[in-house]
């Protein structure tokens, strides 16, 4: 009965997770999709707590309550601008959990192997401080009991799963910590590698594989090999993401999401948990697909990005001629009043200033005046895929005027006014004009082709990737300096 209930609940939860992922592909269905995920996870937790092999319910409830309370507090405190780094932090926890579960699986495996070596296949050897006790199997309801019935081939497969869980989980943990630091501005977005670069990563990976073979062949101290593998993987994750520049960080976030999924799937095999396998595979595959799509949108090679091969300069940058010309709110408002078509390009600066509501009001007033207003969203706008879409949806901007880059890029030559709010790299013409630029070849919003371009930004600094933008020096561009929210609010009373 227990197995039947758990299996049925896991199937329903898996279906809900699939529906959740599918719904997140569109703004209108995203809220419903989130509820699918919430219900699916709640069902999975209940089924696990009351499924076969479960125990320690009191402790489990305490831990779930504690984790839920921490999650609630974090969710209430985190601003929308901090969502990218929060996602990176969550990925790190998934990776660390995979490492802990894998080590625990090895400890249980060691107990079972000691029991079998003692000639007691239906008992488990438990090593205490001074002696080893042989405890009958019927006292165990969980993982150790399952291990005693596995064949040698199945135990070897389990060792492979433990190795993969530790290796992928450790890379995910430290890589996500570095991604968090870069997204939060605590670590420089400039790519940094130790002398030896990719060779160090390759050597650490090769050493991990050799240690993994020693572990699986039962040569030497198993736990010691696993500790060394974890340390090497921690280094790979740190060095790998440190070597990726700020321009590629949105891809890194989705890539780490994929890593965390595969780590969870590996642990699912270890624990013989079908739902964890399915969920991990869903997260891993969807993250990999998203990373690939984003790489195509940025004209990046997928393999090169995940190996930390992009983000650095390839030569001296082209010289920029001209000067940045400032404009005040009266000048921008006059241009908007005369315009028939307006395109707004939001970026991370809009999120930092929390200007989405002001932008939404600006949109409402312009549309009420009979002007065509649309939004242009670059695939990597902000620091997380879909970041701008979420902010605009939160501010009640109509979905049908929020367009992706491919849908609107050809319309800029016929656009009267483009307002850029906190964007830099995604509107940088150097991607097309300067082969030595770190973002060379990356598709960008061709805003400079519009009749007039107004850039709202705090000052003359460069963007997240540290690249100067020639757009700011063009004759049809004017710099509207100041906090984005304050700047947009200054425009509102000046519009007809």
Is 483 assigned a catalytic role? no
Instruction: Quote the percentage of the chain above a pLDDT of 70.
Output: 82
Cα–Cα distance measured from residue 165 to residue 215, given in angstroms and rounded to the nearest whole number: 14
Question: What integer pLDDT is reported at residue 136 of this predicted model?
Answer: 46
Helix count and strand count (H, E) for the chain: 18, 8
**pLDDT (tens digit, 9 = 90+) per residue, 361-375?**
999 999 999 999 999
Nearest to 241 by CA among 161, 165, 183, 159: 183
Question: What integer pLDDT is reported at residue 57 of this predicted model?
Answer: 76
**pLDDT: which is higher, 188 or 372:** 372
**pLDDT (tens digit, 9 = 90+) per residue, 227-257?**
999 999 999 999 888 887 766 677 787 788 8
SS (H, E, C) 89-142: HHHHHHHHHHHHHHHHHHHHHHHHHHHHHCCCCCEEEEECCCCEEEEEHHHCCC
Which of the residues 328, 400, 411, 425 is marked catalytic? 425
- Per-residue tokens: 253: 């976030």
**pLDDT (tens digit, 9 = 90+) per residue, 390-417?**
888 888 899 889 998 989 999 999 999 9
What's the CATH number for 329-494?
3.40.50.1220
Question: What integer pLDDT is reported at residue 141 of this predicted model?
Answer: 45
Question: What integer pLDDT is reported at residue 139 of this predicted model?
Answer: 39
Question: What integer pLDDT is reported at residue 247 of this predicted model?
Answer: 61
Question: What integer pLDDT is reported at residue 122 of this predicted model?
Answer: 52
**pLDDT (tens digit, 9 = 90+) per residue, 70-129?**
988 888 887 766 777 888 888 888 889 889 988 888 887 777 666 666 555 555 455 555
Q: What DSSP element (H or E) covers 487?
A: helix 484-491
pTM of full prediction above 0.95: no
**Segments making up each domain of the chain, as ranges:** 1-77, 81-306, 329-494
Residues whose CB falls within 8 Å of the CB of residue 113, separated by 6 or more in sequence, listed in order: 155
- 138 falls in which pLDDT band (50, 70, 90)? very low
């Amino acid at each position: 009965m227990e197995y039947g209930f758990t299996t049925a609940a896991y199937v329903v939860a898996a279906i809900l997770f699939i529906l959740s992922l599918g719904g997140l592909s569109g703004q209108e269905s995203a809220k419903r999709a989130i509820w699918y995920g919430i219900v699916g996870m709640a069902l999975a937790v209940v089924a696990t707590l009351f499924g076969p092999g479960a125990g320690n319910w009191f402790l489990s409830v305490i831990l779930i309550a504690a984790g839920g309370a921490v999650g609630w507090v974090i969710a209430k405190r985190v601003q929308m601008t901090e969502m990218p780094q929060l996602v990176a932090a969550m990925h790190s926890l998934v990776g660390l959990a995979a490492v802990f579960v894998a080590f625990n699986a090895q400890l249980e495996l060691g107990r079972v192997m000691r029991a079998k070596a003692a000639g007691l296949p239906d008992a488990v050897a438990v090593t205490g401080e001074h002696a080893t006790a042989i405890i009958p199997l019927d006292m165990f309801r969980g993982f150790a009991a399952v291990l005693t019935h596995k064949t040698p081939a199945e135990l070897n497969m389990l060792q492979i799963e433990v190795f993969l869980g530790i290796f992928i989980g450790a890379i995910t943990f430290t890589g996500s910590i570095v991604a968090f630091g870069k997204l939060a501005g605590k670590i420089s977005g400039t790519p940094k590698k130790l002398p030896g670069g990719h060779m160090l990563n390759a050597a650490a990976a090769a050493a991990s594989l050799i240690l993994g073979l020693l572990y699986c062949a039962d040569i030497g101290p198993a736990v010691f090999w696993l500790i060394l593998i974890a340390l090497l993987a921690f280094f790979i994750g740190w060095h790998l993401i440190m070597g990726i520049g700020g321009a590629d960080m949105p891809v890194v976030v989705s890539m780490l999401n994929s890593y965390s999924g595969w780590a969870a799937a590996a642990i699912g095999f270890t624990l013989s948990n079908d739902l964890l396998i399915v969920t991990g595979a869903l997260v891993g595959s969807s993250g990999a697909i998203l990373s690939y799509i984003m790489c195509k949108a940025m004209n990046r090679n997928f393999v090169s990005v995940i190996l930390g091969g992009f983000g650095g300069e390839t030569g001296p940058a082209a010289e920029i001629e001209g000067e940045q010309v400032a404009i005040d709110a009266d000048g921008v408002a006059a241009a908007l009043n005369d315009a028939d078509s307006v395109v707004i390009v939001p970026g991370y600066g809009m999120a930092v200033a929390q200007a989405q509501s002001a932008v939404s009001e600006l949109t409402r007033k312009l549309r009420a005046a009979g002007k065509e207003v649309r939004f242009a969203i670059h695939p990597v706008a902000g620091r997380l895929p879909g970041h701008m879409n979420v902010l605009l949806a939160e501010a009640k901007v109509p979905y049908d005027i929020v367009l992706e880059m491919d849908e609107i890029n050809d319309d800029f030559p016929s656009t009267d006014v483009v307002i850029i709010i906190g964007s830099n790299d995604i509107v940088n013409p150097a991607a097309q004009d300067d082969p030595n630029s770190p973002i060379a070849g990356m598709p960008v919003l061709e805003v400079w082709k519009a009749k007039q371009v107004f850039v709202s930004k705090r000052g003359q600094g460069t963007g997240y990737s540290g690249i100067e933008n020639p757009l700011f020096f063009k004759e049809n561009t004017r710099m509207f300096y100041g906090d984005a929210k304050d700047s947009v609010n200054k425009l509102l009373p000046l519009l007809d």
